[in-house]
């Protein structure tokens, strides 16, 4: 997705661009509609979107199943008002003048929760964060 200057833009980043960053972008699109431009990328992109990530987003009416992971670029970062890095593993060379946030999302597997139940909790955590970010980006 390309950024436009007439509305806020967010770039979501994780390592593989197959799970959390794709989920965040899809959820922001659902929450924000046309009020925010979103994109996602990875520091070391994988080859496909995580099937469980796609499944739990489908449960809330968001389809990321056909998205293709891609590598983050300096231009992506320059064009974004905010770059959100999900998790502690993704590393990004920051671009001066761009705002960065790092979200340390819930990790249910640390509590013995795996599979689809884990991904639902991750989705819900990301949704809460996306909703708060949207409110700050679109506040008068």
Tokens of 66: 């056909």
Place of tokens 């909790």: 121
C-alpha to C-alpha distance for 113 and 128, rounded to whole angstroms: 20
In tens, the pLDDT along 18-71 reads 999 999 999 999 999 999 999 999 999 999 999 999 999 999 999 999 999 999
Residue carrying structure tokens 């905010």: 82
Q: For the sheet containing 37-42, what is the strand order?
A: 37-42, 9-14, 82-86, 99-103
Q: Which residues contact 5 (CB under 8 A, 6 or more apart)?
A: none
**What's the pLDDT score for residue 140?**
84
Q: Which DSSP letter does residue 111 get?
A: G
Q: What is the pTM of this model?
A: 0.94
């Amino acid at each position: 997705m390309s950024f436009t200057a007439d509305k806020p833009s967010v770039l979501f980043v994780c390592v593989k661009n197959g799970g959390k960053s794709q989920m965040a972008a899809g959820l922001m699109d659902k929450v924000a509609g046309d009020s925010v431009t979103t994109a996602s990328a990875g520091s070391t992109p994988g080859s496909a979107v995580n099937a469980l990530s796609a499944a739990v987003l489908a449960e809330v009416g968001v389809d990321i199943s056909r998205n293709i992971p891609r590598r983050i670029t300096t231009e992506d970062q320059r064009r974004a008002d905010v770059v959100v890095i999900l998790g502690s593993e993704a590393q990004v060379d920051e671009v001066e003048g761009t705002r960065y946030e790092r979200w340390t999302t819930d990790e249910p597997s640390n509590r013995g929760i795996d599979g689809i139940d884990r991904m639902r909790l991750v989705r819900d955590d990301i949704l809460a964060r996306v909703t708060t970010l949207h409110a700050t980006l679109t506040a008068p």
